[in-house]
Every structure is written in C-alpha cells, then in structure tokens.
Amino acid sequence: MKKIVVGVTDCSKYAKYADWISSDGNVEVVKLGYTLSFDEVKKCEGVLFTGGEDVHPRFYNRMDLLQFCYPDDVDERRDEFDLKVLDYTQSHGLPVLGICRGLQIANVFFGGTLIPDLPSFGRFNHSKFGEGNDRYHSIQIDPASQLSKITECQSGKVNSAHHQAVKHVGKGLVANCFSADGVIEGLERINPIGKPSLTLVQWHPERMLNQQEALSFKIKQHFLGAIGKQ
C-alpha cells in the first residue's frame, strides 16, 4: 500500500508530532522548516502545523501587543514560513491539521487576531504547570459543528499548554469549542464544501495521556482520512 505523505513543521518537539502522525505505519513524514528547502512541501499530501513559539503580533497588525509575548519565544522567520506553507496548502487543496500554535498561525493567515497572553488580559492561565506538565480542562463542543461529527463528542477534557489564544476569528472560520472560561479551543470552516479539510485545535492530541480518547485518536484519523480521499 502506498504511504500517505504528511508534512510536519519543525519545532523543538518535532519528533513527538512525527511519531504520533506516523504511528499506524502508513505515513511517510516530511520535515518542513525555513532552514530547509521550501520545495519539500511539494512532496506533501497534507500538512500538520505544530506547536511552539508565539506568533509575532506584526502579522496581525498589532505591534503594540509585542510586549505581552515571551521575548525569547518569537521567531518571525518561522511565522513567515508557516504562512507561506498555509498559502500553499489552500491553493493546492491540501488537508491541514493545526495544533496549538498551528491553530493560532492559521487564524492569523485567515485574517484573525490573537490574545498575546491570557493572564495579562484577565483570563485563567492555560500554560503548563511549573513542573512542565500539561494542564487539563474541560471543553464544550458545538453539537452542530464538524468537530462534533468527527469526534462524536459534545464535551470532553483536553490538555493545555498555551498562553496565547484566538481573539478575533479569521474570515471564513468559526469557533467550534470553548473552555469553561470562554477561550476558543478549536476552529473550523464555516462552509467546508468544496474546500480542503481544515482541523484546528488548541490542545495537543499528540501527547494526551490516553491516545485512544476521541479528542486525540479521531482527530488524527480524520486528518489522515481526508488525505486519503483526495
């Protein structure tokens, strides 16, 4: 059987994402990053956008918010590269799975904005605990959403390791789930008909404690299935 070719954007935990998406043995992973040739994306049938650095506020025209970003955790070269890859996926009809930062950079690509630091803007802390462990919290899923159909869930518990989040939702997108304190935890297309699959989640399905949970396993299954249908 021919393997599915999935691009995975480079980050400090690249191996975790690559191992997760290829764990069923029918996936070939291609590393994507600004230190590599952009032509690598042309090999891909779908792209997984990984977590990592803060998105620089200049990409959503809010330079005044740079003060709220982590100073050593901004990489404009990565932002530029990821936005270029997103443009490629949309113009070439490639399915996309965006995780954590992947959701945030995709929202910016579609014209949305971000909350640069949740605690600074009166929200609960969604970042890791001091020991480096993910937080876990509940989410409510819109029962009419694509995400609900994909996961067969209307609620659940997800891990959390972010301090930035969606503020204004990008054009053509809609929020499909929220945490109890109102933070957007997922985005999807308002009208997906005739457009490539786009699944954007704020949590980390690749490292949830129970990999058989619907909000982990079925997210991956849907993404790979969307590639297989092309």
Residue extents of the structural domains in the chain:
4-228
Q: What is the pLDDT of residues 166-210, one digit of tens each?
A: 999 999 999 999 999 999 999 999 999 999 999 999 999 999 999
Q: pLDDT, tens digit, for every residue of 31-74?
A: 999 999 999 999 999 999 999 999 999 999 999 998 999 877 89
Kindly report the pTM of this predicted structure.
0.95
The residue whose two tokens read 């005044």 is 64
Q: State the distance between the two ends of the chain, measured CA to CA, in whole angstroms.
A: 16
Digit-coded pLDDT (tens) for 73-103: 899 999 999 999 999 999 999 999 999 999 9
Residue matched to tokens 């008909």:
193
CATH 3.40.1520.20 correct for 4-228? no
Do the Cβ atoms of 32 and 40 come closer than 8 Å? yes
3-state DSSP call for residue 186? strand
Q: How far apart are CA 229 and CA 227, in angstroms?
A: 5
Give the separation between CA 106 and CA 87, rounded to whole angstroms: 10
Hey, which residues are catalytic here? 100, 204, 206
């997906």: which residue's tokens?
192
CB 104 within 8 A of CB 164: yes
Going by C-beta distance under 8 Å and a sequence separation of 6 or more, which residues neighbour residue 40? 7, 30, 31, 32
